[in-house]
Chains A and B, each alone.
Chain A
Amino acid sequence: MIAQRLGLGLLTLFVVTLIIFLGVEALPGNAAEAILGQSATPETVAALERQMGLDLPPHERYVKWLGGIFKGDFGVSIANSREISDLIGVRFANTIFLAVMAAVIAVPLALILGILAALYRNSYYDRSVNIVTLSSISFPEFFVAYILILFLAVTLGWFPSLANIGPETPFWERVYRCILPALTLTLVVVAHMMRMTRAAIINLLASPYIEMANLKGMSRSHVILRHALPNAWAPIVNVIVINLAYLIVGVVVVEVVFVYPGLGQLIVDSVRTRDIPVVQACSLIFAATYVLLNLTADILSIVTNPRLLHPR
């Protein structure tokens, strides 16, 4: 079961690399012409093509490109001729830092809110949390981000409105500067996680063993925390991992709003300058992270569910 899912995940990853590679192949012209621009003569283009390996047939180039990625070599940027792996390294770490920070705030918050909503369901608390989370799903990310900037950065002046961090920024200073972007991401993902937590617990409350616990005269919080929650973990963990996958992608807009030096900012800048190798590399990293996290979610839900682990 798990091996099957792993194989499927690897196959997906392979197809994703193929799509990203073939998509760029579909372009008229090639990278060599793009680098040399208007002043290119056929001879210089041919020379650069040979240097970049563009004269090889597509399947050999694909194997070469994929092999290079496994060695950490993504090729060279068209815009500034720098090694893409140099551009990406620090930025990827920054993006992961922001996503992890948002997750550290969002996951416990969503769990607590969800459990409370299940505990006091159909109360005013439950309904108001519902309305707030529903509207936070409907809001564009940049709207949430700018509202936070307006109130917490401009009016109150508690946090900086730009999250400009460098490699030598100390850890706590980093955390302080990243609070607003992390908070924005939190608001975006918390709604879904919280609703699923609530739904998972309420689903279980109809089971006979919960009724038994109620009839024994246990307190409501005890029933939910000790009896319902352990069995609700599987779907909750699944939703959390799926939302982490969303976080990795959701950073793009947030990074641009806060001018945060991450991978999202890089991919947007590169799309604007049509720097195709960089876009290719970034989308591959984003897509691979997304596929791997979704794979983790599926495997976790198999592992935590004995009925799926031993199929009859």
Chain B
Amino acid sequence: MTDSNSSIGQSVDAVPPPRRTETKLSIAWRELKKAPLSAKFGLLVIISYIFVAFFAPVLTPFGESEVVGPEYDVWSGEHPLGTDNLGRDMLTRLFYGARNTVGIAFITTCLCFLVGGVGGILAAAIGGWFDQISSRLVDILMAIPQLIFALLLLTIFGTAIPTLIIIIAILDSTRVFRLARAVSLNVVVMDYIEAAKLRGEGMGWITIQEVLPNIMPPLIAEFGLRFCFVFLTISALSFLGLGIQPPTADWGSMVRDNATLITYGDVTPLLPAGAIALLTVGVNFVVDWFLHKTSGLQDEH
């Protein structure tokens, strides 16, 4: 505690207080330069993943599921990471995997926040029977272990990508619902919410204009953590052969398809798994820093 206090004191001395003329961008840049090494590392990881995801076709000479050589070819100049179980270029698929796996996990997390976040805020704002029913529904959904529930639903509805996204998003939205409801409960009792209601504002306006801005920091941090969970769940399902289906390049199924190589002491199949781990660690570092930052800023005021 004393440690963080003194560091805040020092930083206030060293940097002049922000003036009105500063844009949000320059404030962000200044904060970024002060960020700890772990957060910078995390940001670097996230940015490079996004870069690779967007420019995968430019960065790779081969097609996503193009067979370019013999199966399980060794690392060479032409194929820097060798080829996979069907003779497709490993590096190419690793790059495309950034696009597919991370992209799908990102869309799922967004959907999950849309459902859980809106539900949670509305439950807090409306209260009464709506709150009771939705909260009990969430309790029931959370009573069944998530992976097992996902497996059951995937058996029933099949393993197409839209189905996968909807199932994981809804199962994960229960956690977002609880958080959003808990933090909004503190906000909806405020006078300005009462004032807005008396002004005759609609529920949608109150939710978006009054409640949402006040609960943003915990929700953003939760978005990072939730993304990690969704990402790991989807990878686990793909690894089990029940998530993203071939020939789409995906890190979970790439590990599964090439796992035999490990028994010969080859590390290639570990690379997609390592890519998953690196991104989750990176996101966790940034979330950690963000949580520290937002709680620290509240101390200063």
When the two chains form their complex, are residues A279 and B151 in contact, meaning their CB atoms are under 8 A apart?
yes
Segment among A15-23, A41-49, A94-102, A178-186 that sits at the interface with chain B? A15-23
When the two chains form their complex, are residues B273 and A161 in contact, meaning their CB atoms are under 8 A apart?
no
Asked if A202 is at the interface (CB within 8 A of a chain B CB), the reply is no
Given A143-B273, A154-B265, A272-B242, decide whether A138 and B152 contact each other with a Cβ distance below 8 A.
no
Which of B147, B235, B263 touches A140 (beta carbons < 8 Å)?
B235
Segment among B14-22, B58-66, B191-199, B275-283 that sits at the interface with chain A? B275-283
Given A154-B263, A154-B265, A253-B240, decide whether A290 and B152 contact each other with a Cβ distance below 8 A.
no
Segment among A105-113, A145-153, A221-229, A304-312 that sits at the interface with chain B? A145-153
Question: Could you give, for residues 112-147 of chain A, a 1 whenever the CB lies within 8 Å of some chain B CB and a 0 otherwise?
Answer: 000000000000000000000011001111110011
Contacts of B28 in A (CB 8 A): none
Report the Cα distance A138→B273, complex, angstroms: 11
List which B111-133 residues lie within 8 A (CB) of chain A: none
Report the Cα distance A153→B264, complex, angstroms: 10
When the two chains form their complex, are residues B145 and A287 in contact, meaning their CB atoms are under 8 A apart?
yes
Contacts of B145 in A (CB 8 A): 245, 248-249, 286-287, 290
When the two chains form their complex, are residues A150 and B265 in contact, meaning their CB atoms are under 8 A apart?
yes
List which B60-81 residues lie within 8 A (CB) of chain A: none
Asked if B274 is at the interface (CB within 8 A of a chain A CB), the reply is yes
Q: Whose C-beta in chain B lies nearest to the C-beta of A154? A: B265
Contacts of A85 in B (CB 8 A): none
Nearest chain A CB to B235's CB is how many angstroms away? Answer: 5
Chain B, interface SS category: helix
When the two chains form their complex, are residues B151 and A271 in contact, meaning their CB atoms are under 8 A apart?
yes
Q: Whose C-beta in chain B lies nearest to the C-beta of A26? A: B156
Chain A, interface SS category: helix
When the two chains form their complex, are residues A279 and B152 in contact, meaning their CB atoms are under 8 A apart?
yes
Which of B148, B155, B262, B277 touches A150 (beta carbons < 8 Å)?
B262
Asked if A296 is at the interface (CB within 8 A of a chain B CB), the reply is no
Contacts of A161 in B (CB 8 A): 262-263
Report the Cα distance A177→B259, complex, angstroms: 19
Question: Could you give, for residues 261-301 of chain B, a 1 whenever the CB lies within 8 Å of some chain A CB and a 0 otherwise?
Answer: 01111010110011011001100100000000000000000
Which of A140, A253, A270 touches B277 (beta carbons < 8 Å)?
A140
Question: Could you give, for residues 228-267 of chain B, a 1 whenever the CB lies within 8 Å of some chain A CB and a 0 otherwise?
Answer: 1000100110011110000000001001100100111101
When the two chains form their complex, are residues A268 and B240 in contact, meaning their CB atoms are under 8 A apart?
yes
Q: Whose C-beta in chain A lies nearest to the C-beta of B144? A: A287
Given A146-B255, A154-B264, A287-B145, decide whether A274 and B284 contact each other with a Cβ distance below 8 A.
no
Given A19-B144, A138-B284, A286-B145, decide whether A154 and B262 contact each other with a Cβ distance below 8 A.
yes
Q: How large is the interface on A (under 10, 10 to 19, 20 to 34, 35 or more residues)?
A: 35 or more
When the two chains form their complex, are residues A23 and B235 in contact, meaning their CB atoms are under 8 A apart?
no
Nearest chain A CB to B149's CB is how many angstroms away? Answer: 7
Which of A16, A24, A146 touches B144 (beta carbons < 8 Å)?
A16
Contacts of B277 in A (CB 8 A): 135, 138-140, 143
Nearest chain B CB to A275's CB is how many angstroms away? Answer: 8
Report the Cα distance A139→B154, complex, angstroms: 24
Asked if B190 is at the interface (CB within 8 A of a chain A CB), the reply is no
Report the Cα distance A194→B71, complex, angstroms: 44
Contacts of A245 in B (CB 8 A): 145
Beyond the given pairs A134-B284, A138-B284, A142-B256, 11 more chain A to chain B contacts, judged by CB atoms under 8 angstroms and listed by A's residue number, are A15-B140, A19-B144, A138-B280, A138-B281, A140-B239, A147-B270, A249-B146, A272-B242, A282-B148, A283-B144, A291-B144
Residues of A that sit less than 8 Å from B by CB: 12, 15-16, 19-20, 23-24, 26-27, 134-135, 138-143, 146-147, 149-150, 153-155, 161, 245, 248-249, 252-253, 256-257, 267-268, 270-272, 274, 276, 279-280, 282-283, 286-287, 290-291, 294
What are 19 residue pairs bridging A and B, where the CB atoms are less than 8 Å apart in the complex? A140-B235, A140-B273, A140-B277, A140-B280, A142-B252, A142-B273, A150-B265, A161-B263, A248-B145, A249-B146, A252-B240, A257-B259, A268-B151, A268-B240, A271-B151, A272-B242, A274-B155, A283-B151, A287-B144
Residues of B that sit less than 8 Å from A by CB: 140, 143-149, 151-156, 228, 232, 235-236, 239-242, 252, 255-256, 259, 262-265, 267, 269-270, 273-274, 276-277, 280-281, 284
